[in-house]
Structure 1
Amino acid sequence: MSEPRTRLALLSPYRVEAGDSDALAVAITAACAAGDVAALILRLAPSDERSLVNLVKRLAPAAQATGAAVLVSCGGFAGDLVSVSARGGADGVHVDKPKEGVLRELRERLDDGRILGAGGHEQRHAAMEAGEAGADYVMFGGFYADGVSPDPETVIDRATWWTEIFETPCIAVAHTAEEIAPLLATGAEFLGLESTLWIGEGADVAGIQAQVAAAREANS
């Protein structure tokens, strides 16, 4: 039996605002054309619900046109994130460091195949709780809203542990090109790319995709 392929998950910059939408939509289109992108996590700046809905409507089609799922994340937003996602035409929501009970509540509201993702799991028991609460995937690594992220060794350790034990998929996030190979070796279903890897002059999604393909070939 062949190994399941690793697919890409794009993480937007934090606190995306309406003024960022045109340039970001172009970058999303380019990245999705260059690689096998399964998902895009939009990390939006808090605003009123109507503005967030309009922003999602502007950005989601660029990824969805290639079959990628779009997840909405908005740390610090006091409104209804599920409503923003649904009204904006997204495919679900992503929550970092969820408080107790939040994931179960969201799971009850996200039906009809809509996706619930959870990240910010620096401790193993937090990731296990997310899986038990019905998250469709858990994410290890990635910048938090305060600009801090777990060290690469922790991300590799958590992703390796998770993929060896649990069936719920995981996203292992790379911040630099040097982190990609070790994260691919964990067997994670999804390789997350921080925005510096797929936006701007240093972006090389095609090169990353080639690396993913080579790793799969080597392990087949």
Structure 2
Amino acid sequence: MTTITCQLYLISPLDVGEDFPAKLAEALSAAPVAAFQFRVKGVNQHEAARLAEPLQAICADHDVAFIVNDDMALAKRIGADGVHLGQGDGDPREARRLLGPDAQIGVTCHASRHLAMDAGEAGADYVAFGAFFPTTTKEVEHRAEPEILRWWQGLFELPCVAIGGITPENAKSLVDAGADFLAVSSAVWTHAEGPGAAVRAFDAILSARPID
């Protein structure tokens, strides 16, 4: 009997200015977090780099991987720990050439087994499935079922991330299905008692799961 631990992967809101660095520090101080994804839209690379700087420092202080959403060039510019690629954001092989062998490269695979296998063959470090639940973070075109996590874990060693509308109330089904990481955004940043309370609520669920 072995144990595998599902870990928390935070995704930023689109607005990371003003008091957001304090919110991030509160979240990362509350309980273990594996990674933080920097996701901003509609700003140029110079402004994105400026916004990323304090957040990257907070992640470094807490030993949390800093992942850039979509933009390989920005990840390279700021020395991020990795990049997360949507299906239209480039090839993982290109990201590997640009960012080097130690970069963490993730790929959005929606609810597609085929896309996930392609990402693995292209050298991705993890694949992301979702959305599993309704979400206000982004428009949902694809809905995934927990069964895809069970299928992936039964065949592949590459970690899988569950994303989309995940809350402390619905997370257990994804942990039980085999998610290695839960990617969460609004459930943390809009929590009534603050991001620290939200992270602690998730941490209570993310206990080791026994497998044969």
Identify the TM-score tier after normalising by the shorter chain. 0.7 to 0.9
Tell me what 2:117 maps to.
Answer: 128
1: CA distance, partners of 2:62 / 2:23: 14
Stretches of 4+ moved more than 6 A in 1?
217-220
**Aligned: 1:205 with 2:196:** no
Aligned-pair CA distance for 1:35: 2.1
Q: Using the alignment, how far apart are the partners of 2:27 and 2:141 within structure 1?
A: 23
The equivalent of 1:59 in structure 2 is 55
* Letter paired with 1:128: M
Q: 1:164 aligns with which of 137, 140, 154?
A: 154
Task: Report how many aligned residue pairs link the two structures.
Answer: 204
Pairing partner for 2:93 from 97, 104, 113:
104
Report the RMSD for the aligned CA atoms in angstroms: 2.4
Of 31, 35, 42, the match for 1:39: 35
1:1-220 alignment, distance < 5 Å: 2-13=2-13, 16-17=14-15, 20-74=16-70, 81-98=71-88, 102-142=91-131, 146-148=138-140, 150-151=142-143, 154-173=144-163, 175=165, 176-193=167-184, 195-202=185-192, 203=195, 204-213=198-207, 216=208
Task: Provide the rounded CA distance (Å) in 2 between the counterparts of 1:218 and 1:83.
Answer: 40
* Cα displacement string for residues 75-95 of structure 1 (whole angstroms, at most 9, x for unaligned residues): xxxxxx333113223211111
Higher helix share: 1
User: SS state of the match for residue 178, structure 1?
Assistant: coil
1:46 aligned partner, one-letter code = G
Gaps (5+ residues) in structure 2?
none
Q: Assess if the C-alpha contact under 8 Å between 1:140 and 1:172 holds in 2.
A: yes
Residues 1:149 and 1:23: Cα distance change in structure 2 (over 3 Å): farther
* CA distance in 2 between partners of 1:199 and 1:146 (Å): 15
TM-score scaled by structure 2?
0.84
Report the CA distance between 1:146 and its aligned residue. Answer: 4.8
Cα offset for 1:98?
A: 3.5
| Structure 1 segments unaligned to the other structure (5+ residues) | 75-80
Deviations 1:135-173 (A, max 9, x none): 11111125697521543xx24122221111111111112
Aligned CA distance change for structure 1 residues 112 and 129 (closer, same or farther; 3 Å):
closer
**Percent identity between the two aligned chains:** 30
Q: Which has the higher contact order (CA 8 A, sep 6+)?
A: 2
Q: 1:185 to 1:161 in 2, by over 3 A?
A: same
